């Protein structure tokens, strides 16, 4: 679970952690759930300076290369000005809009949940 914003250094740690899990066959990644400030990772309107972490492009690459599921809490996103409404959509398409019920289902499938 990612609860840190796109500009937070812990988000870089989360991205690296996911890459490490994928590279090693000892564990299986069921998905990454974005909650609280973590939903900002999916905002297509966020513009980061070129010399800083490009979190959204990193998450997109992970989805494209490894077909992982990125779940976005829509309630937390809406509280932060994000929407999946057709004309106003500012949520990157690599994210699956979900609710806390999806988080419960994910945690039931897993033997560990890690929050960054």
> Would you state the structure tokens that stand for residue 2, as one six-digit string?
């990612």
110 in active site: no
Q: Are 106 and 56 in contact (CB under 8 A)?
A: no
Of 22, 79, 108, give the one whose Cα is nearest residue 14. Answer: 22
Cβ atoms of 52 and 7 within 8 Å: the answer is yes
Contact 66, 59 (CB under 8 A): no
Count of residues in the chain = 116
Catalytic residue among 6, 70, 73, 77: 73
Q: Which residues are catalytically annotated? A: 73
């Amino acid at each position: 679970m990612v609860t840190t914003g796109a500009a937070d250094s812990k988000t870089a740690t989360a991205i690296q952690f996911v890459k490490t899990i994928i590279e090693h066959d000892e564990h299986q990644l069921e998905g990454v759930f974005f909650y609280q400030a973590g939903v900002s990772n999916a905002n297509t309107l966020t513009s980061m300076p070129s010399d800083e972490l490009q979190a959204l492009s990193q998450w997109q690459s992970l989805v494209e290369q490894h077909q992982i599921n990125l779940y976005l809490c829509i309630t937390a996103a809406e509280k932060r000005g994000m929407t999946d409404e057709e004309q106003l959509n500012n949520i990157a398409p690599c994210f699956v809009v979900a609710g806390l019920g999806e988080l419960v289902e994910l945690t039931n499938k897993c033997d560990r949940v890690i929050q960054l």
